[in-house]
């Protein structure tokens, strides 16, 4: 099995963002001391943006806030998408994507598919036929029957993959504060984008692995950390180092994109392969150069960032 720990984190997409807040307020003095850096729209890859990035005043959390607004088709230009499900239990790892369990990343090769019953210690798993062919969702209808919380009976024990071409006309509109507003309260996400990579693909909240596994399905990510769902198209659950990065002048980890609150998301490891040791509950910290910002979690963690510390914008998908 390949170990992805050394890889640098990536990001990305879905529908309307709803946030649930918790935690108590700190004092305002501490708040005022937090340094913030405005969003740099030039970091986004022009080819991946539909039209231009505009500025609009939008009400966020009841406050009129100047925001960048832009649209994308959620299709990366710097890497391919897929593959996800191998086709035969003899297939090598190049024919499939990755899956994660308990913090670790595994290659979804034919062997992994063949051994699922053993892996999960559950004899009900059998995602392949007697001839060794893998049961995967090969059409849009099959993907939509399987890629939902109540997986249709017919697609239990399937490897689930939806192809980007089924949803190529979907447009995602992002609204992100021009200058992030730090809040002492942690904002937990419930669904929808938590951030966006520079290629316009969203970083999603954790994949609902319990629901997926309960139906004896797996929905692999590709090696780039992404897969497709019918309501948001291609999106990332892990940062694995394939998307555009903005290198830093110092040893700090490269930047990968922006969270929905406008704070930057950076890779996990710095130029010396070291992780930050002072991250808060959301995965953020502050420094003089970058102000408050996040670091993406390890790819096996099913979590790019854990919560937001700023007033969130939103992402909206037109299907």
H or E element, residue 292:
strand 291-295
Of 207 and 311, the one with the shorter C-beta distance to Zn ion is 207
Chain positions contacting Zn ion, by CB under 5 A = 207
Of 132 and 254, the one with the shorter C-beta distance to Zn ion is 254
Q: What is the DSSP letter of 221?
A: B
Of 202 and 314, the one with the shorter C-beta distance to Zn ion is 202
Instruction: Assess whether the previous peptide bond of 83 is cis (omega < 30° from 0).
Output: yes
Of 67 and 207, the one with the shorter C-beta distance to Zn ion is 207
Of 103 and 208, the one with the shorter C-beta distance to Zn ion is 208
What is the spatial distance between Cα 307 and Cα 315, in angstroms, rounded to a whole number? 16
Tokens of 238: 């892990």
Of 89 and 307, the one with the shorter C-beta distance to Zn ion is 307
- Least spacing, CB of residue 126 vs Zn ion, in Å: 24
- Least spacing, CB of residue 194 vs Zn ion, in Å: 12
- Least spacing, CB of residue 278 vs Zn ion, in Å: 9
Q: In what order do the strands lie in the sheet with 308-310?
A: 18-22, 182-191, 308-310
What is the spatial distance between Cα 182 and Cα 108, in angstroms, rounded to a whole number? 40
- Least spacing, CB of residue 63 vs Zn ion, in Å: 27
- Least spacing, CB of residue 61 vs Zn ion, in Å: 25
Q: In what order do the strands lie in the sheet with 284-287?
A: 226-229, 233-236, 202-203, 195-197, 255-259, 264-266, 291-295, 284-287
Tokens of 37: 């850096």
- Least spacing, CB of residue 17 vs Zn ion, in Å: 15
- Least spacing, CB of residue 248 vs Zn ion, in Å: 9
SS3 56: strand
- Least spacing, CB of residue 301 vs Zn ion, in Å: 14
Nearest position to Zn ion, beta carbon = 207
Of 71 and 229, the one with the shorter C-beta distance to Zn ion is 229
Residue among 248, 186, 178, 197 nearest 37 (CA): 178
CB crowding 21-48: b at 16 or more within 10 Å, else e: eeeeeeeeeeeeebebeebebebbbeeb
Neighbours of 244 (CB within 10 A): 20
Of 93 and 235, the one with the shorter C-beta distance to Zn ion is 235
């Amino acid at each position: 099995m390949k170990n992805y720990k050394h890889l640098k984190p990536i990001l990305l997409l879905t529908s309307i963002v709803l946030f649930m807040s918790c935690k108590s307020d700190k004092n305002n003095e501490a708040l005022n001391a937090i340094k913030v850096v405005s969003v740099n729209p030039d970091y986004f890859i022009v080819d991946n943006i539909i039209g231009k990035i505009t500025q609009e005043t939008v009400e966020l959390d009841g406050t009129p806030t100047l925001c960048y607004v832009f649209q994308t088709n959620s299709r990366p230009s710097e890497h391919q998408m897929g593959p996800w499900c191998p086709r035969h239990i003899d297939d090598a790892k190049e024919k499939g994507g990755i899956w994660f369990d308990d913090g670790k990343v595994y290659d979804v090769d034919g062997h992994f598919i063949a051994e699922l019953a053993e892996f999960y210690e559950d004899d009900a798993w059998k995602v392949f036929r007697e001839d060794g062919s893998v049961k995967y969702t090969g059409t849009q209808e099959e993907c939509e029957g399987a890629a939902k919380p109540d997986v249709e009976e017919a697609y239990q024990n399937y490897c689930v993959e939806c192809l980007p071409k089924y949803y190529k006309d979907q447009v995602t509109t992002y609204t992100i504060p021009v200058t992030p507003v730090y809040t002492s309260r942690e904002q937990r996400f419930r669904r929808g984008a938590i951030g966006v990579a520079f290629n316009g693909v969203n970083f999603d909240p954790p994949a609902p692995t319990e629901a997926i596994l309960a139906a004896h399905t797996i929905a692999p990510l590709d090696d780039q950390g992404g897969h497709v769902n019918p309501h948001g198209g291609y999106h990332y659950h892990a940062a694995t180092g394939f998307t555009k990065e903005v290198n830093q002048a110092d040893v700090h980890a490269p930047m990968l994109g922006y969270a929905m609150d406008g704070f930057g998301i950076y890779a996990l490891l710095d130029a010396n392969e070291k992780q930050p040791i002072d991250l808060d509950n959301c995965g953020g910290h502050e420094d003089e150069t970058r102000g408050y910002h996040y670091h993406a979690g390890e790819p096996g963690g099913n979590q790019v960032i854990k919560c937001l510390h700023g007033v969130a914008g939103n992402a909206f998908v037109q299907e």
